[in-house]
């Protein structure tokens, strides 16, 4: 079937089910940022291949909501499909629920919209239900795509899962399960309870298992139900070989088929706890009415974010490996230049840069894969925040102008995420230097701040933006996101952004520090390090007297890689900022040089040379 045939078949199924509309979000049952192809239902139905979007189909219309990253792509891919593009980033674009209420003009309570409850979190489903109910619209939980998408649908990945050694994780499964049970016991009024999770990163962390089911994320597609007396993993049997089974048996982890989770939940008694922001509505609807249902932030999510000493040391090891790879990459790129302003190899593209960086990362010990798709944005492409070059659609790179390189690696030791912006050649515009320095000053300000316990990320966000704000410049993306440990590059619950996140920053949290300036058609400038929260010293030479209490925190910088000092406007830098930069570069060289050969180390020494300005 083509897109029009699929829409026609869906409308026939809608009529048979008595539905006025059907909604297909770009989600999977596990609240994943990156999805296995099996669950790309929105893409299958619409023909739109972007990662973010939601389809709404009525009996006579079809619409797709997506954000500004995908306007151009969606406009091309939806052409002649009869699907209308809804530009959700535009201020005048209605929300899906507002559009449904206005479009259907509900007067009849029997009119319904359908959704697959596996693709909605409990919280989102509840918000939709309440809003639509006020307009007389009912939501029906029904999966209409599964019966239609029978030809060519990718199977759920069946790659083997594997144990993740406590030597890397820093804690045994037995210890994690015991602590989770202690936490949940305090939340339950009786001894019969169950904690349900569908989040793949939580499952991987809790059971010290990893897999290859989702691109860039070493996770296993599964569900887990934790109880006072047992822990049950719901997973495809094909994923478990003999070593994995022995590992699960040793840790007293029961195994049942992946789809058996719904019947299992229907058999539960007592208190059932779930995180409504992540657990899908279908799991919630399986909980017996007689059970006490408790919607609570997942204790697994909260504990997973607090990295232990072994995890943090692993992150430092991974950062050194990453620094070596980036040093080799930038040395290679610089040595490609010829005096006549050409590359020695002729043509060079953004895709070539991505492949070469991957080649250098492969040299690193314990490297597994990238932690996300590398962003190599040359000149104006760097101003597209989530730019993604492909082999067949990428820009040629010349030894002039700006290059933004945002990349990361998944190592057994930890997860990295780093952005560096470099000048490839030619005269540097004054505005480029000003922009780079605004970004760098904010970047340093966040890493060096001292703050009291209980501080939230949104309270620190302005530190990274203060200098560009003074110049009338800002950026729209978050300043910092949480990062997992050999797990997701984006991890909650902590972050640094303008949104009011109630999660306070705690010792062991790892976040990114990545302010940026983006000038359409000219350049993008972003500088990103990963940093971790640590206790701050009780005294500080800059203070004139004792602190009010000893509950203070600060950040340790984890990422190791030099900055392009040719882009810095030194007259804007304070002595303290220059001292920080010199100390950082000294550390970069000291920790990275032992991994390099003599020529590479000499290159790094030049890039890390102290500044006396």
Per residue, the 3-state secondary structure of 284-300, as one string, reads HHHCCCCCEEEECCCHH
96-152 pLDDT, tens per residue? 999 999 888 755 556 899 999 999 999 999 999 999 998 889 999 999 999 999 999
Q: Using CB atoms within 10 A of its CB, is residue 207 exposed (0-12), middle (13-18) or buried (19+)?
A: buried
Domain assignment present for residue 592? The answer is: no
Domain assignment present for residue 330? The answer is: yes
- Non-local CB neighbours of 233 within 8 Å, separated by 6+ positions: 203, 207, 222, 223, 224, 248, 253, 254, 255, 256
Q: Is 233 helix (H, G, I), strand (E, B) or coil?
A: strand
Domain assignment present for residue 589? The answer is: no
Q: Quick one: 171 and 77 in the same domain?
A: no
The CATH number covering residue 70 comes to 3.40.350.10
The pLDDT of residue 542: 53
Number of H helices, E strands in the chain: 19, 28
Q: d(Cα 561, Cα 204) in Å, to the nearest integer?
A: 30
The pLDDT of residue 187: 77
Q: Quick one: 377 and 490 in the same domain?
A: yes
The pLDDT of residue 386: 78
The pLDDT of residue 476: 83
The pLDDT of residue 73: 79
What letters, b where the CB count within 10 A reaches 16 and e where it falls short, cover 426-447? eebeeebbbbbbbbbbbbbbbb
Q: Quick one: 297 and 358 in the same domain?
A: no
Q: Is 139 helix (H, G, I), strand (E, B) or coil?
A: strand
279 to 198, 275, 283: CA distances (angstroms): 6, 6, 7
Q: Quick one: 381 and 497 in the same domain?
A: yes
Domain assignment present for residue 244? The answer is: yes
Q: Of 118, 148, 178, which closes a domain?
A: 148
Domain assignment present for residue 154? The answer is: no
Number of structural domains (the chain) is 3
Q: Quick one: 466 and 542 in the same domain?
A: yes
Q: Quick one: 380 and 268 in the same domain?
A: no
Q: Quick one: 512 and 465 in the same domain?
A: yes
Q: Quick one: 381 and 272 in the same domain?
A: no
Bridge partners of 375?
Answer: 406
Q: Where are the beta strands (DSSP E) in 199-302?
A: 209-210, 223-227, 231-234, 253-256, 271-274, 292-295
Domain assignment present for residue 156? The answer is: no
Q: Quick one: 263 and 134 in the same domain?
A: no
The pLDDT of residue 320: 98
The pLDDT of residue 549: 62
Q: Of 279, 305, 331, which closes a domain?
A: 305
Q: Quick one: 506 and 567 in the same domain?
A: yes
The pLDDT of residue 341: 83
Domain assignment present for residue 610? The answer is: no
The pLDDT of residue 547: 57
Domain assignment present for residue 607? The answer is: no
277-309 pLDDT, tens per residue? 999 999 999 999 999 999 999 999 999 999 999
The CATH number covering residue 357 comes to 3.90.230.10
Other residues' Cβ atoms within 10 Å of the Cβ of residue 346: 6
331-375 pLDDT, tens per residue? 999 999 988 889 999 899 999 999 999 999 999 999 999 999 999
Other residues' Cβ atoms within 10 Å of the Cβ of residue 254: 14
Q: Which residues of the chain have pLDDT under 50?
A: none
Q: Of 264, 289, 305, which closes a domain?
A: 305
The pLDDT of residue 538: 65
At which residue do the structure tokens 């995180």 appear?
275
Q: Quick one: 435 and 515 in the same domain?
A: yes
Q: Could you list the residue range(s) of the whole structural domain that residue 381 is in?
A: 309-576
Residues across the chain: 613
Bridge partners of 140?
Answer: 114
Query: In the predicted model, what is the mean pLDDT of the chain?
Result: 94
Q: Quick one: 423 and 553 in the same domain?
A: yes
- Non-local CB neighbours of 163 within 8 Å, separated by 6+ positions: 208, 209, 243, 244, 247
């Amino acid at each position: 079937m083509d897109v029009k045939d699929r829409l026609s078949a869906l409308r026939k199924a809608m009529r048979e089910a008595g539905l006025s509309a059907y909604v297909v979000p770009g989600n999977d049952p596990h609240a994943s940022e990156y999805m296995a192809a099996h669950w790309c239902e929105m893409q299958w139905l619409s023909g739109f291949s972007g990662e973010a979007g939601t389809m709404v189909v009525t009996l006579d219309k079809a619409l797709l909501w997506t954000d500004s990253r995908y306007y151009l792509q969606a406009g091309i891919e939806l052409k002649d499909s009869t699907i209308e593009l809804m530009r959700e980033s535009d201020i005048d674009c209605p929300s899906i629920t507002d559009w449904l209420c206005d479009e259907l003009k509900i007067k009849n309570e029997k009119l319904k919209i359908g959704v697959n409850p596996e693709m909605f979190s409990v919280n989102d489903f509840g918000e939709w239900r309440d809003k639509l109910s006020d307009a007389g619209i009912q939501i029906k939980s029904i999966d209409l795509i599964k019966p239609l998408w029978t030809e060519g649908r990718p199977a759920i990945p069946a790659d083997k899962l594997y144990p993740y050694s406590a030597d890397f994780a820093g804690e045994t499964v037995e210890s994690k399960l015991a602590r989770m049970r202690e936490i949940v016991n305090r939340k339950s009024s009786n001894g019969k309870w169950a904690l349900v999770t569908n989040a793949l990163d939580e499952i991987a962390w809790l059971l010290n298992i990893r897999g290859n089911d989702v691109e860039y994320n070493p996770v296993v597609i599964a569900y887990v139900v934790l109880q006072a007396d047992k822990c049950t993993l719901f997973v495809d049997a094909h994923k478990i070989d003999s070593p994995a089974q022995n590992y699960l048996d040793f840790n007293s982890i029961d195994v049942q088929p992946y789809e058996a989770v719904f019947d299992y939940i229907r058999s539960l008694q007592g208190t059932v706890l779930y995180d409504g922001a992540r657990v899908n509505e279908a799991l919630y609807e399986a909980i017996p009415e007689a059970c006490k249902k408790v919607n609570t932030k997942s204790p697994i999510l909260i504990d997973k974010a607090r990295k232990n000493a072994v995890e943090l040391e692993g992150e430092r090891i991974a950062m050194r490996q990453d620094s070596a790879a980036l040093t080799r990459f930038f040395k290679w790129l610089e040595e490609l230049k010829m005096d006549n302003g050409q590359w020695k190899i002729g043509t060079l593209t953004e895709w070539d840069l991505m492949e070469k960086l991957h080649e250098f990362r492969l040299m690193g010990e314990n490297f597994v894969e990238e932690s996300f798709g590398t962003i190599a944005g040359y000149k104006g492409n760097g101003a597209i925040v989530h730019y993604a070059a492909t082999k067949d659609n990428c820009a040629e790179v010349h030894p002039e102008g700006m290059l933004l390189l945002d990349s990361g690696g998944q190592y057994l030791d930890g997860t990295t995420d780093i952005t560096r912006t470099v000048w490839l050649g030619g005269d540097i515009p004054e505005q480029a230097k000003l922009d780079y320095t605004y970004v760098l000053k904010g970047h340093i300000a966040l890493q060096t701040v001292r703050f009291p316990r209980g501080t939230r990320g949104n309270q620190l966000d302005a530190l990274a933006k203060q200098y560009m704000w003074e110049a009338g410049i800002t950026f729209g993306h978050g300043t910092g996101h949480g990062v997992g440990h050999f797990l997701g590059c984006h991890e909650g619950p902590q972050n640094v952004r303008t949104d009011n996140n109630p999660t306070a920053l705690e010792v062991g949290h790892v976040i990114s520090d990545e302010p940026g300036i983006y000038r359409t058609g000219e350049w993008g400038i972003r500088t990103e390090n990963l940093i971790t929260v640590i206790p701050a010293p009780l005294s500080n030479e800059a203070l004139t007297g004792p602190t009010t209490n000893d509950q203070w925190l600060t950040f340790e910088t984890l990422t190791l890689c030099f900055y392009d000092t040719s882009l810095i406007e030194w007259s804007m830098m304070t002595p303290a900022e220059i001292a920080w930069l010199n100390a950082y570069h000294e550390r970069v060289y000291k920790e990275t040089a032992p991994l390099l050969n003599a020529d590479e180390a000499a290159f790094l020494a030049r890039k890390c040379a102290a500044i006396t300005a």
